[in-house]
Amino acid sequence: MYSILLLTIHLCYNYPVSKMEKKKLKKITNKKIKKLNRLFKSHKLTYLRIARIGLVLTFTFNTLYIVGIHSSYLINNILKYISLGLAIISFLVFLVFLSLYFFKERDIILKTKRWWLNIISGLFCIGCCLFLSLLYGPNPAFRDWLVTTAMATMNHQYLCKMFYGDDEIADVLNANYILEPDEEMNTNLVDVVADKKKKKTFQYDEDNEYEVQMFKDHEEDEIYRLLRFTVNDQNAYLAVVYDPANVSVVVSKYALNSGEYVVNMAKRTNALIAVNGGRFIDPEWKSAGGNPDGVTITKGKVITDYPYGGGLGVIGFNQDNVLVLYKDKSAQELLDLGVRDCVTSLPFLIVNGNKAFTKGNGGYGYGARTAIGQRDDGVTLILVVDSNETRTNGASMKDLTDIFANYGAINAAALDGGTSTSMVENGKMISRPVNASLKHVTRPVATGIIVTAPPKEENEIELN
């Protein structure tokens, strides 16, 4: 210990020593000096490690505290203040041991073999800052997307409630909404050929790229045409059905008990095109899909006649094959209006050629969508847009409205979306549904919209 003290005095203060002391210093071997060096290094490494742990814990508890300020869904008041206290303690530990680290011998070069721990710690702290800036930073884009997308689902609303309180969620929803046209639809605006023996020719503007896609090289026996494009980098499928008489509503064969997959509906009805239909009642969020919401009619037969509100409306076809959009109508009232097929969903996107007003992203976020519309010449448009693998992208209600307007629809409405969204062509699934587990799996639904081939006329039936 005396030798170590002499060496320390000599190194630190360059203090002159006697000959006897020099002799004692010479007795200190290189081995002892190396051992002393390792001791200093070991202490500095320990201080640095503790400081690093304190920094990581500071950012961790600080993140939990800030989340707890905004929402008590994930972090209640007790945990919030515990996180605050631990964040303060961790920060003090960080400061103390970082000071000790720099207070020690500065001429000792520290070469740690665990440099990757410093990188991981730094990336973790940066990640915490980025996470908090996304959730609560000045740019509301991520916050608006998260709240509107989560609140538009049945069983994922907790994803935004974990980070935002009820007031913040209400503020976001009030800044992102869709205002439907406040008018009764006029069925006289649609001209559908009633005489099936009279072939309808479609006039189109060659300078209109959307009409060219729908009508160029159209043949009389062409029942539908499938267009493919992308919306926000996600695949979209638009079925252009030339005769709306071929469009109808199908219900699950297990109606009122459980749903049926769209692909099975398509095979059972020999549908050329099939998509999911209206919303369904799912009180326990089991996605059983058996009980259609609101009013459901197929081929003039009433399946359900439940009261509906909350923006829901009836979407269907009347006996003249005109797409109809009604609010606050009972099943009997709809039958009296000549409705042959209908489901219940929301929102209405276009009514009588007037587009819905959308503020922000429309209040439903971005995701997989199914929708239906009709042009003034009777051509019916059935649209499906996929979501990405993580269900964080897709189409907004504004996107749907703009697409239908581009293709000339004067009436359009959204159907059920999310995991329900699917399109089947000739018995094969062509869309890419993604469920809550992020797997490419859809769910059984209560109703579907199908396109079938027209029945052959008597003079077209060959007799053996």
Residues 75 and 204 in one domain: no
Q: Quick check: is 329 in a domain?
A: yes
Residues 294 and 438 in one domain: yes
Of 170, 233, 232, 183, which Cα lies nearest the Cα of 363?
Answer: 170
In degrees, rounded to 5, the angle at the alpha carbon of residue 194 between the alpha carbons of residues 193 and 199 is: 50
Q: Quick check: is 355 in a domain?
A: yes
Residues 117 and 230 in one domain: no
Residues 199 and 296 in one domain: yes
Of 149, 185, 240, 206, which Cα lies nearest the Cα of 410?
Answer: 185
Residues 120 and 189 in one domain: no
Residues 121 and 194 in one domain: no
Q: Quick check: is 380 in a domain?
A: yes
Residue at a domain's end among 87, 115, 138: 138
- The confidence score (pLDDT) of residue 337 equals 97
- The confidence score (pLDDT) of residue 3 equals 43
Phi, psi for residue 323 in degrees, rounded to 5 = -65, 125
Domain around 53: 2-138
Of 331, 432, 460, 388, which Cα lies nearest the Cα of 145?
Answer: 388
Residues 35 and 120 in one domain: yes
Q: How many domains does the chain have?
A: 2
Q: How many Cβ atoms sit within 10 Å of the Cβ of residue 69? A: 13
Distance CA 162, CA 198 (A): 60
Residues 89 and 185 in one domain: no
Q: How many Cβ atoms sit within 10 Å of the Cβ of residue 122? A: 13
Residues 308 and 206 in one domain: yes
Q: Quick check: is 421 in a domain?
A: yes
Q: Quick check: is 300 in a domain?
A: yes
Residues 10 and 83 in one domain: yes
Q: Quick check: is 169 in a domain?
A: no
Residues 258 and 356 in one domain: yes
377: which 2 tokens? 């010449």
Residue at a domain's end among 138, 168, 187: 138
Of 197, 274, 227, which Cα lies nearest the Cα of 406?
Answer: 227
Distance CA 161, CA 26 (A): 71
Residues 125 and 205 in one domain: no
Per-residue pLDDT of the chain (464 residues; tens, 9 = 90+): 434 434 443 433 344 445 555 555 555 545 555 554 554 455 666 777 788 888 899 999 999 999 999 998 888 888 898 999 999 999 998 888 878 777 654 444 444 456 677 788 889 999 999 999 999 999 898 899 899 988 877 667 888 999 999 999 999 999 999 999 999 999 999 998 755 555 567 889 999 999 999 999 999 899 999 999 999 999 999 999 999 999 999 999 998 889 999 999 999 999 999 999 999 987 766 667 789 999 999 999 999 999 998 899 999 999 999 999 999 999 999 999 999 999 999 999 999 999 999 998 889 999 999 999 999 999 999 999 999 988 889 999 999 999 999 999 999 999 999 999 999 999 999 999 988 777 888 999 999 999 999 987 654 444 43
Q: Report CA-CA distances (Å) from 358 to 38, 148, 177, 417.
A: 68, 13, 6, 18
Q: Quick check: is 155 in a domain?
A: no
Q: Quick check: is 166 in a domain?
A: no
